A and B are shown apart, each in its own frame.
Chain A
Amino acid sequence: MAAKRNARDVTHSPPINKSGTSTPTTQAPAAKSATSKSKDANLSAQEVAVAMWDNYVKATPQRTKLIDVFMAFLVVVGVLQFVYCVIVGNYPFNAFLSGFSATVGQFVLTASLRIQTNAENKAEFESISPERAFADYVFGSLILHFFCVNFIN
């Protein structure tokens, strides 16, 4: 897992501007939905999107960006599987389900890790240190993969 993430990082992550402070962060899809919703605002949609993207690139810590890249990768894999299922059909349904739910589950677990390690949410999770959050993440992922491997037959 870690190796894969590093590989993704090398290829995809945008130039990183290291900044200690963490301000609100956004993702690429977030910006997309913002464009559709902010018609009423005075700014044009494109400007908002660009501003958000800049803000994201500037303000997000590198680790969080790594997590985001991994999540984006999971979304891509999940969508690819789903499209393949729609095109070809779902004959070994358990195989499709385990593959798809592996991506969904991993996405959700990673999102949980991202939330828990985010410095802003410190108040919310006072009893959970980032190390503990990572250990929980490993635990959850192990269970998830055990079930998926068992279910795929």
Chain B
Amino acid sequence: MTVTTENSYLTGAKGRNTRGLLRLVILCTIAAAAVSSRLFSVIRFESIIHEFDPWFNFRATKYLVANGFYDFWDWFDDRTWHPLGRVTGGTLYPGLMVTSGAIYHTLKALTLPVDIRNICVLLAPGFSGLTAFATYLFTNEMSSTPSAGLLASIFMGIAPGYISRSVAGSYDNEAIAIFLLVFTFYLWIKAIKLGSAFWGALCALFYGYMVSAWGGYVFITNLIPLHVFVLVCMGRFSSRVYVSYCTWYALGTLASMQIPFVGFLPIRSSEHMSALGVFGLLQLIGFVEFVRAGVPSKQFQTLLRGFVVLVFSVALGGLVLLTVSGVIAPWTGRFYSLWDTGYAKIHIPIIASVSEHQPTAWPAFFFDLNLLIWLFPAGVYLCFLKLTDEQVFVVVYSILASYFSGVMVRLMLTLTPIVCVTAAMVLSTILETYLSMKSPKSDAEFVATEAAATKNAPAKGGLRSMRNPLVGIYTVVSKSTVVGAMTLYLLVFVLHCTWVTSNAYSSPSVVLASKLPDGSQHIIDDYREAYQWLRQNTKEDAKIMSWWDYGYQIGGMADRPTLVDNNTWNNTHIATVGKAMSSSEEVSYPIMRQHEVDYVLVVFGGLLGYSGDDINKFLWMVRIAEGIWPEEVKERDFFTPRGEYKIDHEATDTMKNSLMYKMSYYNYNGLFPPGQAQDRVRGARLPDVGPVLNSIEEAYTSENWIIRIYKVKDLDNVGREHGAAASFERGNKKKKAAKKRGPKVLRVE
């Protein structure tokens, strides 16, 4: 049918030119749509960095732009993880920062000086246009129909599953990583189709770039070997597979080892062993095939096959042995929790505490991918029908990615490209089938040929040949019904994507927006208010203690050293902060003194009904602290006898005495008429007498009480305990008690 369509209209060189032009225009429009649908947050609010992680990336990029590449590579950051510091050059993926630094310098060289912040904000939309183009190339390799690539490209451009991580302002690693992922896969497919070392080498180069950009490169390192392994098991080994895979592996592994954060991992860790194993397997198979071609004998062949199986199992056994004996590092917790989904919750609370690491619910799939999710299985089925080397890749990718996206919400991101590709293949097949007689010219021609065929067929005789032309749908009505329905779905898809992007994924978490009753927008800007206060009213090196969620933002916006931050590399240090937050003042004050803490920052949403505050995160602090000091911090103590987590008058003494509780509700009663203090998040009425703070004092509270900052008091001048000193100040002199002689101990020294 494609042949008839192509013959009927758009023939010859002119037709090809027209189609080329159309294609170009469509791709440019798609890129424009992809970029512009990500700008909601910039237009509504302002051009700032969102979320938490991007603040560190932004800070690192500023450092890179200010100090040059070599300083950035060897950057020791003494303003995070306060007593320890962080070797930043060796613990980050530098691809994102280097990319935006390069863009910055290029624009500057073109005499277009753009602020680095704007480059960082708009990097993700820019790269999403490139992702749409890469998806176009990738799908064109998969499908013979010319429209599939364009469809996949527009799907990828506006699918909310990808937009969620790449709106303007989300300057995260995923911003460029998804482009690199798709482009690497495109190069890989190209390499395996042509059997070309050149494309394999290009694939390795982009793989190296991907490694420098995102920790999710492990997905590629496992997917490509899996593809090759499946091909080998299907008996599709060919020298093309050998050439492309071995070139990719040899160059790509070396390229990935150049990144300091990765280092020797490709040799040492279990995640990379499948690639090495398949590399070894391919050498053996290549060698055996080579010998087999030389000696044609059936017995010999079976013997060789046995030889391959034997060597493979010996290699696997050796790998297992090495892993068990500890030469090769076992799976890291983050990856292991993908297989054993209960593992993180029990052993590593810090992984389970992140909301992105939860299993995905069904509605999330529909929310993020709308109609694509039900075209997806059909597309995989379509791949099974015509199973070439690259279709196997689609099948393997789909199965693996759908499993992972079911286990973890954030891995939806890796599923989105393949869903777009397969859905586009299905849709283009449908459209191609039902659209082939759209133009009247081809219609007449087709009917004519069809009539000729039906007339000729009975003349030739034979029932089977007569049946052939009758199969299919020829009436214009049925065709236009199907095509109309599909068009409708596509339009609804666009509406859905725009709606989701606009409502769900375009809000900077730094600024909270709420609607007033008359419909106007009210902006709550407490975060920046408080961070700005810290920046202007504290010493340059005042250490701020807060829960790790806010570490990057404090470093980025307030520009003050922090104790812990979102890069959770030292669990014990985080547990220390958790212990300080969840213990009584007498216990936490020495901890804070030891760590030279000047200010403590808590987030409190009780006044405004902002649910992501520290009281709601408090139990995780307790759990993480309990993991290290099970004797001193006990989760059970924070629950009422009936096992409830309460903050009102039923709260336990441990809860009421904890530093976090005291800091959150300090002076909160004063806002309300007596006896009516209300916490809007927990929906609870607070006790009449608010908590008393002895060793710290309130330094700043933002307009809506979202951020509260406390200053840690200095040691008492006359050497008293803070509790005693504060009690003296309040006038509880307890004269009688003073007269009595207490059980004093002997003065030593």
Contact = CB atoms under 8 A, between A and B. Distances in A.
B303 interface: yes
Contact of A128 (B196, B249, B257, B283): B196
Contact of B300 (A37, A105, A109, A128): A37
B253 interface: yes
Given A93-B264, A115-B243, A140-B201, A101 B254 contact: yes
Q: Which of A37, A94, A120, A121 has the most CB of B within 10 A?
A: A37
Nearest to B287: A30
A144 B253 CA distance: 10
Contacts of A85: none
Contact of A26 (B253, B258, B290): B290
B240 A26 contact: no
16 contacts: A24-B294, A30-B290, A34-B291, A40-B303, A98-B254, A104-B250, A109-B247, A109-B250, A111-B286, A112-B243, A125-B240, A136-B198, A139-B198, A140-B247, A147-B251, A150-B258
Given A105-B251, A127-B194, 7 more contacts: A30-B291, A48-B295, A108-B283, A112-B247, A125-B195, A127-B196, A140-B201
B197 interface: yes
Contacts of B475: none
A113 B198 CA distance: 11
B205 interface: yes
B322 to A, nearest CB: 15
Interface string B254-297: 11011000001001000000000000000100110011011101
B239 interface: yes
B197 to A, nearest CB: 4
A111 B297 CA distance: 25
Closest A-B pairs by Cβ, 8 of them: A105-B250, A136-B197, A147-B254, A136-B198, A108-B246, A24-B294, A112-B243, A26-B294
Contact of B250 (A24, A27, A135, A144): A144
Nearest to B307: A37
Contact of B294 (A30, A105, A113): A30
A121 B250 contact: no
B238 interface: yes
A34 B295 contact: yes
Interface in A99-153: 101, 104-105, 108-109, 111-113, 115-116, 120-121, 124-125, 127-128, 132-133, 135-137, 139-140, 143-144, 147-148, 150-151
Contacts of B300: 34, 37-38, 41
A25 B294 contact: yes
A118 to B, nearest CB: 8
A124 B290 CA distance: 15
Contacts of A97: 257, 264, 267
A55 interface: yes
A60 to B, nearest CB: 11
B299 A151 contact: no
A33 interface: yes
A52 B239 CA distance: 22
Contacts of B294: 24-26, 30, 52, 55-56
B242 interface: yes
B243 A116 contact: yes
